[in-house]
Amino acid sequence: MRSHYCGSLTALQVDTEVTLCGWVNRRRDLGGLIFLDLRDREGLVQVVCDPDEKALFELAYTLRNEFCIQVKGKVRARPASQVNADMATGEVEVYARELVILSKAAPVPLDSNQNNSEEQRLKYRYLDLRRPVMTERLKFRAKVTSFVRNFMDSHGFLDVETPMLTRATPEGARDYLVPSRTHKGKFFALPQSPQLFKQLLMMSGLDRYYQIVKCFRDEDLRADRQPEFTQIDIETSFMTADQVMAVTEQMIRELFQQQLQVDLGDFPRMTYADAMRLYGSDKPDLRNPMQLVDVADLLKEVEFKVFSGPANDAKGRVVALKVPGKAEAISRKDIDGYTEFVGIYGARGLAWMKVKAVGQGIEGVQSPVAKFLSDDIVNDILSRTEAAAGDILFFGADRYSVVCEAMGALRLKLGEQHGLTEQGWKPLWVVDFPMFEQGDDGQLMAIHHPFTSPVNPDPAALQQAPEQALSNAYDMVLNGTELGGGSVRIHDPVMQATVFRLLGISDDEAAEKFGFLLEALKYGTPPHAGLAFGLDRLVMLMTGASSIRDVMAFPKTTTAACPLTDAPGLANQAQLAELMIELKKE
Amino acid sequence: MRSHYCGSLTALQVDTEVTLCGWVNRRRDLGGLIFLDLRDREGLVQVVCDPDEKALFELAYTLRNEFCIQVKGKVRARPASQVNADMATGEVEVYARELVILSKAAPVPLDSNQNNSEEQRLKYRYLDLRRPVMTERLKFRAKVTSFVRNFMDSHGFLDVETPMLTRATPEGARDYLVPSRTHKGKFFALPQSPQLFKQLLMMSGLDRYYQIVKCFRDEDLRADRQPEFTQIDIETSFMTADQVMAVTEQMIRELFQQQLQVDLGDFPRMTYADAMRLYGSDKPDLRNPMQLVDVADLLKEVEFKVFSGPANDAKGRVVALKVPGKAEAISRKDIDGYTEFVGIYGARGLAWMKVKAVGQGIEGVQSPVAKFLSDDIVNDILSRTEAAAGDILFFGADRYSVVCEAMGALRLKLGEQHGLTEQGWKPLWVVDFPMFEQGDDGQLMAIHHPFTSPVNPDPAALQQAPEQALSNAYDMVLNGTELGGGSVRIHDPVMQATVFRLLGISDDEAAEKFGFLLEALKYGTPPHAGLAFGLDRLVMLMTGASSIRDVMAFPKTTTAACPLTDAPGLANQAQLAELMIELKKE
């Protein structure tokens, strides 16, 4: 039905007879002629309808936006004066000889100026996706998956499908449940990840596995979360953490090179401890040059309890964050805003200090807290933060986690608002995570997941000092977003049982939930390791989209609904009766 | 940890120092040496442990089957007398210098002679998959998906993901339901296919789509069905049925060429009517040369009601099936067995006729029904079936559908049992399906699905004589298995509404279930068509596996359970409470 894509025509096709199919993007009646911008997946081209072709011209006159039509005609060069440099096909136009309306269109319910609510865009997603920016994102996503698959194939990784109807997985988020009809009263769970299956594939001797696979989490949605999302899931036997990092880093580097002509270079590595110390985050955005500077040791003796309290508390932290040269730009009102902002993260206030001159103690600064400090202390703070006249410092003093979160977030906000965050791409690996974190009740919780191996493979050593243990895990971070994470897995049944016990999982519970894994570990499990990337986030970053919803064809709303199909919907009673379930009244 | 795969070593590596990782397939102590067959994904290689290397030798002595080990050593040529031609690496062996036990193995619970129940195999799937035949199938499957993706990519099809959590789809089988937590009392359905989403992608202007995607049907399982299965799903705008058939046929042809070095040639086309007439099936196995021969017209007048009844009934059918040269080979006991067999399909008996001589009327045949027939009729039957002495005919006389099913199945059984079915590959397209079939209550039902376009795109013509309408659908059949099927879709809202009405779907119900589709059809829907292949069946056929379970990593049992993970499992009450559902007591 078509010889060329609209968007593919160039001067090379001049004088060629072409057949195009596409949508009327715009119709203009000008100088007795009708001009159509005809659009398909590859772009737009101008079609000219001449009144000399009477029937065609009359039909063209009935065309409205989004009519789907077929046009036959000859490509001709536009006169120099009419060349449109903004259009890929701007040097040519198609002189129409035949026109067929394939399908009419009612006036579209979306505003062409894009003043559409998210709800409207999703309800008429098929119209929203016709926008070139959206089409390009889906095309780009397809290129990314194609690249990843070819890379993985060529490195000996096998694409293997794992089940969607499975057992509840232990990732911690809520599972989506699927009632079984043949096993009444029982439920499948949709996988939060194929973690256990990919480990079982390594035990099966498959050696290297990958899959681009849907995963599910029934979470309370935030802006950047979806109930179903897609992972690039990777697992390999007989590779060290370094080797897994090397091959996956190479993949991402080549992907950026090929698709964006960007050289990411070698990814630096940073320990979790350094990331938290310098950036208050385990996914630091290195485009932002500001760092947190610890100053607790300088403030242990001050009378000001807001500082000295956390400074003397092993679980507290006190940091300064210097915004270079912005003392003037940042007003009292701005500071009030930042104070409110850090409050979101639990900080109870935000001390600040504008620097007028250095080495002059209290006299050299303007700060509501200066009066609580000595000249020496002020000088020491300015010296340690390498502050200069015109800078402003913010202080965070609280529990360790509150300071990290609040000041880490403030750092990002200040960087963006004041143009301190560079353009470009800053990847890194974060490594040497602790195995566990401690809940308020003292119970250890896994930082990654309970199948992550400690760096030291001795179960007795782990048992002895679990809080000190580092895990053999690694996260790839790009521009402050976690692109992916993984670890060396436990392949020793004794180590696995030890970790379950440290996590407060009783032997009975372990047997009930993970008995098959513990059993499988008995039969010659190879050392194995892996990693999973969030495909949606990767594509979002690469396309510059502001939400993962914009790189999915049919995403859900933030209440996990689909305005297009109106899912979820009511089930009929017969179905529920077959499943032996009943709806509870509120 | 490894320099080479075990299975990759050849004479080219002689004198190379290698590091191998793998599983002990077998240990033999022979002539004072220990020989290990070391296995990995790519195959086996012999490792020799010499008592001169004392510590290594002692460690090797502790090895048992399925221990996972690392071996360093030098590749050396085997003496000519010890070359093992049955082994890909049979010309070489590895002289071990270092041995590390990576992971011990308890005695494996699967019988190495493969006398394992399906249940056992699935419970210890990770051990079952270590068998080279299973590993090869998964590797082959990965090659197929890789080929398909590269083919589709290079033909301009975009890989686009469609939702897994969606609305109940209309394919007719039971949906798997997923209760929503945020929309209490409502349910998602897992897709039986991405049918409506891929049509919506065409409405979105994506032009060409494909996806290798999981689909779900909560059916009562038969041998060749699984609750979750995988489709190669394809849709395109602006292509005719012929073009869709051409590109997908090319894909399958190139796939067989590349992966099996088999040339399938051009696929013949057969109408649905011919397929039913000649083979009693819409997926005829053309490797079997036998055909059904209609003989109702010859039997209208006979007294034998079993024949004359269906022969005179517009809804009846009478056929003969000739098994050439098998009159002697097929005993009375065999015939009793076949009679029972056709009974499964509702046939109430199975008349037969052995041919001693042709043209001699009743005298020339041996048959319990001969006495009801005249010489002329017998001669006519033998003549029409081109029977010869030594042949045996079977007769089917019943309702049309019973005759087709029973005699079609008998044809296949006879072909296999008597060696009449050829080896090799016989693909074809079946086309010109009826739009509808009529239920016993007279209600029309879609033969494909309600979005299939009739060949004649005029809604009024369809309305007038729906029973006669042919659909613009096509099935690809290979060796009696439906590999895939598809159709041109309806892109006209009037036609879609007409089809819904003919299917007895009220306007209200259509609006409720498919309102979004009818709405979408208003906005310039392009003509579009598509096809979906069953990946599991395709790989099963290509690998010669006897079940789709053997080409899936982690299939379910026939009761839709997973003996490995013990899914489905019990849900905890808190989860159910959050979902506002309750289990009903039996």
At B284-330, the pLDDT tens digits run 999 999 999 999 999 999 999 999 999 999 999 999 999 999 999 99
Contact A167 B565 (CB under 8 A): yes
Contact A142 B159 (CB under 8 A): yes
Beta partners for residue A292, in sequence order: A321
Q: Is B43 left (phi over 0), alpha (psi -120 to 50) or beta?
A: left
At B444-500, the pLDDT tens digits run 999 888 999 999 999 999 999 999 999 999 999 999 999 999 999 999 999 999 999
Q: Max Cα separation, chain A?
A: 93
**Residue B171 counted as an annotated binding residue:** yes
Q: How would you class A86 by CB atoms within 10 Å of its CB: exposed for 0-12, middle for 13-18, buried for 19 or more?
A: exposed
Strands A33-40 and A17-30, by their bridges, are antiparallel
**Test mutation, A19, A36, A66, A204, chain B, max B CBs within 10 A:** A204
Partners of A493 on chain B (C-beta within 8 Å) are none
B195-211: b (≥16 Cβ within 10 Å) or e: bbbbbbbbbbbbbbbbb
The structure tokens 């992916």 sit at A484
* Residue B24 Cα to chain centre, angstroms: 35
**CB-CB contact of A126 with A108 (8 Å):** no
pLDDT at B169: 59
In this prediction, residue B441 has a pLDDT band, given cuts at 50, 70 and 90, of confident
Which tokens is A536 given? 């949606």
Mean pLDDT estimate for chain B: 95
Closest-CA residue to B286 (of B433, B434, B411): B411
Q: Is the Cβ of B206 closer than 8 Å to some Cβ of chain A?
A: yes
Q: Is the Cβ of A574 closer than 8 Å to some Cβ of chain B?
A: no
Q: Is the Cβ of B258 closer than 8 Å to some Cβ of chain A?
A: no
- Average pLDDT on B550-554 reads 97
Which tokens is B536 given? 């599991």
**CA A244 – CA A117 distance, rounded (Å):** 43
pLDDT at A586: 63
Beta partners for residue A17, in sequence order: A74
Partners of A204 on chain B (C-beta within 8 Å) are 125-127, 129-130, 135, 553
Q: Is the Cβ of B197 closer than 8 Å to some Cβ of chain A?
A: yes
Kindly report the nearest CA distance between residue A43 and chain B, in angstroms: 11
**CA A295 – CA A299 distance, rounded (Å):** 7
Give the residue numbers of the binding site of A for ATP. 217-219, 226, 482, 534-537
Partners of B196 on chain A (C-beta within 8 Å) are 565
Which tokens is A85 given? 């440099």
pLDDT at B95 over 60: yes
pLDDT at A171: 52
Structural domains in chain A plus CATH codes: 6-103 (2.40.50.140), 135-270+429-550 (3.30.930.10), 288-421 (3.30.1360.30)
pLDDT at A513: 85
Which tokens is A161 given? 């499908």
Contact A523 B149 (CB under 8 A): no
Query: Which of A146, A564, A565 minimises the CB distance to B153?
Result: A146
**Test mutation, A23, A126, A200, A220, chain B, max B CBs within 10 A:** A126
Q: Is the Cβ of A144 closer than 8 Å to some Cβ of chain B?
A: no
ipTM of the complex: 0.94
Task: Show which of residues 30-59 on chain B sit within 8 Å of chain A, judged by CB atoms.
Answer: 39-41
Is the bond preceding A568 in cis, omega lying within 30 degrees of 0?
A: yes
- Average pLDDT on B40-45 reads 96
Contact B204 A125 (CB under 8 A): yes
- Average pLDDT on B341-354 reads 96
- With a pLDDT cut of 90, the percent of chain B lying above it is 88
Q: Is the Cβ of A448 closer than 8 Å to some Cβ of chain B?
A: no
Partners of B125 on chain A (C-beta within 8 Å) are 200, 204
Q: Is the Cβ of A100 closer than 8 Å to some Cβ of chain B?
A: no
**CA B248 – CA B210 distance, rounded (Å):** 12
Contact A190 B164 (CB under 8 A): yes
**Residue B12 counted as an annotated binding residue:** no
**CB-CB contact of B198 with B231 (8 Å):** no
Amino acid at A424: G
Q: Is the Cβ of A26 closer than 8 Å to some Cβ of chain B?
A: no
Partners of A183 on chain B (C-beta within 8 Å) are 559-561, 568
pLDDT at B115 over 90: no
Q: What is the pLDDT along chain A (586 residues), one digit of tens a residue?
A: 899 999 999 999 999 999 999 999 999 999 999 999 999 999 999 999 999 999 999 999 999 999 999 999 999 999 999 999 888 999 999 999 999 999 999 999 998 777 888 899 999 999 999 999 999 999 999 999 999 999 999 999 999 999 999 987 555 678 999 999 999 889 999 999 999 999 999 999 999 999 999 999 998 777 678 999 999 999 999 999 999 999 999 999 999 999 999 999 999 999 999 999 999 999 999 999 999 999 999 999 999 999 999 999 999 999 999 999 999 999 999 999 999 999 999 999 999 999 999 999 999 999 999 999 999 999 999 999 999 999 999 999 999 999 999 999 999 999 999 999 999 999 999 999 999 998 888 899 999 889 999 999 999 999 999 999 999 999 999 999 999 999 999 999 999 999 999 999 999 888 888 899 999 999 999 999 999 999 999 999 999 999 999 999 999 998 999 999 999 998 888 888 888 888 887 6
Is the bond preceding B568 in cis, omega lying within 30 degrees of 0?
A: yes
Contact B163 A39 (CB under 8 A): no
**CB-CB contact of B514 with B197 (8 Å):** no
Q: What is the DSSP letter of A470?
A: B
Query: Which of A41, A524, A556 minimises the CB distance to B23?
Result: A524
The structure tokens 């977003």 sit at A481
**CA B416 – CA A487 distance, rounded (Å):** 52
Q: Is the Cβ of B583 closer than 8 Å to some Cβ of chain A?
A: yes
Sequence-distant (6+) residues with CB within 8 A of B65 are: B24, B25, B26, B27, B105, B107, B108, B112
pLDDT at A116: 87
Query: Which of B2, B553, B586 minimises the CB distance to A162?
Result: B553
DSSP assignment of A400-461, as one string? HHHHHHHHHHHHHHHHHHTT-SPSS--EEEEE--BSEEE-TTS-EEESS-TTBPBSS--HHH
At B181-204, the pLDDT tens digits run 999 889 999 999 999 999 999 999
User: Quick check: helix, strand or coil at residue A121?
Assistant: helix
Partners of A165 on chain B (C-beta within 8 Å) are 176, 216, 227-228, 556, 560, 567-568
